[in-house]
Amino acid sequence: MCNNHQLPKKEASRSEKDEKNIHDQEHATWNRRSFIQALGLVGGGSIMLGSAAVTASKPSPLSVALSESETDNILVIIRLKGGNDGLNTIVPIYDYATYANLRPNIRHQQSDLINLDSDFAIPNYLDSMEQMWGDGQMKVIHGVGYSPQNLSHFRSSEIWASTADSYFEPTGWWGRYHEYLYPDYLINPPDAPPAIQIGSIGNLIFDGQETNYAFSVANPEQLENVAENGQFHDLLNLPDCVYGDKLFFMRSTTNTTFTYASVIHDAYTSSSNEAPYSNEQLANQLSIVARMIKGGLGTKVYMVTLGSFDTHANQPNAHQNLLEDLADTLKNFYIDLGAAGMENNVLSMTISEFGRRPYENGSNGTDHGAASPVLLFGPSLNGSGFVGTHPELDVWDDNDNLIPSTDFRSVYSSVLTNWFCLDPSVVDLIMLNESYNTLDLGFECETLGNSDFGNVTHFIHAPVYKNNRVYIEINMTNTSHVDVKLYDIMGKELGTLKNEVLFPGVHAIDVKAAINSRLSYGQYIYRISMGGQFYSKSLIIK
């Protein structure tokens, strides 16, 4: 029998006066994209056009800058979903009395702390983290966040993903990086997935204007299934009904168009784990990531998810379990990488949408806050230590929260500049044309160039929908010969939409009129060839 399957209801209207209702509604809210991703029907990745001519394209100056900066370095982003309590993670023992007064029931007792130095400590159940600290493989960046702090899980997660805090930006910082690097991604993708994301469905960190650049799965079991079998979805065990028929169609389409299942499978099966991982949430994810890295997959960015850190009630036990998973798993992760001699090429970094209030609530928990530490791990840090200044415990913002002392975008900029060796002007582009301070994280790029790419002109093109028609608008900055072809979703070339010299200015191509044949409703892809460079995007025929 088939169960009833319905899309989730739209989010209810919110009242600014009722914080509890806002919080409850946020946790009950799902958009269509999140629903589809939760079913495992859509992951990031490109659509391989089977019959399309795939040729090497002449790179733009910006893509040259990005490709030449490519290193063997890998970044693992660990999302502490829900808002990690920084004060109970890195305890400010330099002002223990104030800390204890703010948290009479949930504070760590001084006798239960391990001192990292004379000012800061960690709870004694994080002995694995203490070992990494002692081995020079851990740094703590104090007071990371932004002001004014948005206290919504979803909005603040968007801000951390997009780097835009005063307006909605639909792209993520890694999405923009990959969009500049791979302008023809839909048709001519790289050999390995640019990023792999486990959990955090709906997070836009890898979103570009056109697509998501991560191979995304809702949970580690899905990724392990791909890695073991080389196929994304089971097509056999489906219900015998209309819903099952539709699910079969969507899953088979996803299996057909997903380009990276086989390379993930090859990397996974060519390696093994050589560390005693537990069966906890983060351990399950990073054990798979370790095999991908050791198997030579070539992916440079991974994001895994640990949660929930939204500890409004009964925080001590829940927070301890999560932090133990974090500490133990990271220790085993680097032991595993070290067995293959790859530990120096992998940097791990925690992020969380916000911290917690400095004082406890009435439920042995903490409410949504602001500043919280970012933790970095790996031998490449060249020694353990602290970065930045810890927020004052008794100086709060208008919402009774700690005031950030380090902008989270400075962390991103520092990683892009000194870990991935990107030119600072390119980093500014990725950071939405803003410059941020570079932090001393213990590593420095030795091959960083001095070229200025701040004035690089970007070729702008996009589908535009108006008057029940779809147009491809092309903004020409120079006179050039332009060839525009249209493909269906399976890669069949349908025809040429434009093949002529275009002069500077905006040009609009009416897709239906230009193709001069019937186009059914659905998704198509156009590809522009100009000056030896290719650009591709999708469009919808309605």
**What CATH number did the domain enclosing 261 receive?**
3.40.720
Can you tell me the distance from the alpha carbon of 523 to that of 505, in angstroms, rounded to the nearest whole number? 27
pLDDT digits (tens, 9 = 90+) for 473-505: 999 988 989 999 998 876 788 999 999 999 999
Reported as a pLDDT band with limits 50, 70 and 90, residue 390 is very high
Which residue range is the domain that position 327 belongs to? Answer: 61-430
In-domain check, residue 454: no
**Which of 374, 409, 430 is the last residue before a domain boundary?**
430
CATH number at 522 reads 2.60.40.2360
The confidence score (pLDDT) of residue 84 equals 98
In-domain check, residue 15: no
The confidence score (pLDDT) of residue 57 equals 40
Both 402 and 292 in one domain: the answer is yes
Both 338 and 254 in one domain: the answer is yes
In-domain check, residue 289: yes
Statement: residue 431 has pLDDT above 80: yes
Both 410 and 317 in one domain: the answer is yes
In-domain check, residue 2: no
What's the average model confidence in pLDDT over 429-450? 86
In-domain check, residue 134: yes
Give the pairing type, strands 480-488 and 493-502. antiparallel
Residues 384 and 101 sit within 8 Å (Cβ to Cβ)? no
The confidence score (pLDDT) of residue 370 equals 97
**Which of 408, 430, 452 is the last residue before a domain boundary?**
430
Statement: residue 359 has pLDDT above 90: yes
- Of the listed ranges 222-226, 324-328, 411-415, 484-488, the least confidently predicted one is 222-226
Both 412 and 469 in one domain: the answer is no
Both 129 and 264 in one domain: the answer is yes
Q: Is the pTM of this model over 0.95?
A: no
Of 227, 233, 348, give the one whose Cα is nearest residue 297: 227
In-domain check, residue 475: yes
Arithmetic mean of pLDDT over the chain: 85
Q: How far apart are the first and last CA of the chain?
A: 34
pLDDT digits (tens, 9 = 90+) for 294-318: 999 999 999 999 989 999 999 999 9
The confidence score (pLDDT) of residue 88 equals 98
The confidence score (pLDDT) of residue 224 equals 85
- DSSP letter string, 14-58: --TT-HHHHHHHHHH---HHHHHHHHT---S--B--TTS-----P
What's the average model confidence in pLDDT over 399-428? 95
Both 362 and 488 in one domain: the answer is no
Nearest 10 degrees: CA dihedral of 242, 245, 250, 253? -160
- Of the listed ranges 152-166, 235-249, 402-416, the least confidently predicted one is 235-249
pLDDT digits (tens, 9 = 90+) for 23-63: 555 444 434 444 444 444 444 545 444 444 444 344 455 56
- DSSP letter string, 150-177: P--HHHHHHHHHH--SSS--SS-HHHHH
Both 192 and 249 in one domain: the answer is yes
> What are the CB-based long-range contacts (under 8 Å, 24+) for 496-500?
497/472, 497/526
The confidence score (pLDDT) of residue 226 equals 79
Both 469 and 423 in one domain: the answer is no
Both 141 and 279 in one domain: the answer is yes
What's the average model confidence in pLDDT over 228-252? 68
The confidence score (pLDDT) of residue 189 equals 82
- Of the listed ranges 5-14, 70-79, 153-162, 190-199, the least confidently predicted one is 5-14
200 residue type, one letter: S
To the nearest whole percent, how much of the chain has pLDDT over 90? 59
Statement: residue 288 has pLDDT above 80: yes
- Of the listed ranges 411-415, 465-469, 486-490, the least confidently predicted one is 486-490
- Of the listed ranges 109-113, 330-334, 415-419, 524-528, the least confidently predicted one is 524-528
Contacts of 437 (CB under 8 A, 6+ apart): 407, 410, 413
Of residues 89 and 239, the one with the higher pLDDT is: 89
To the nearest whole percent, how much of the chain has pLDDT over 70? 81
Give how far the C-alpha of residue 429 lies from the chain's centroid of Cα atoms, to the nearest Å: 18
Reported as a pLDDT band with limits 50, 70 and 90, residue 11 is very low
Of residues 492 and 270, the one with the higher pLDDT is: 270
Of 217, 225, 178, 223, give the one whose Cα is nearest residue 201: 217
Number of domains observed in the structure of the chain: 2
Peptide bond into 148 cis (omega under 30): yes
- Of the listed ranges 40-54, 247-261, 382-396, 480-494, the least confidently predicted one is 40-54
Both 109 and 186 in one domain: the answer is yes
Reported as a pLDDT band with limits 50, 70 and 90, residue 222 is confident
Both 167 and 306 in one domain: the answer is yes
Statement: residue 339 has pLDDT above 90: yes
Q: In this structure, what token pair is assigned to residue 515?
A: 């193709």
The confidence score (pLDDT) of residue 34 equals 46
Statement: residue 5 has pLDDT above 50: no
Both 418 and 480 in one domain: the answer is no
pLDDT digits (tens, 9 = 90+) for 116-151: 999 999 999 999 999 999 999 999 999 999 999 999
In-domain check, residue 439: no
In-domain check, residue 447: no
pLDDT digits (tens, 9 = 90+) for 143-200: 999 999 999 999 999 999 999 999 999 999 999 999 888 888 877 788 889 999 998 7
Residues in the chain: 542
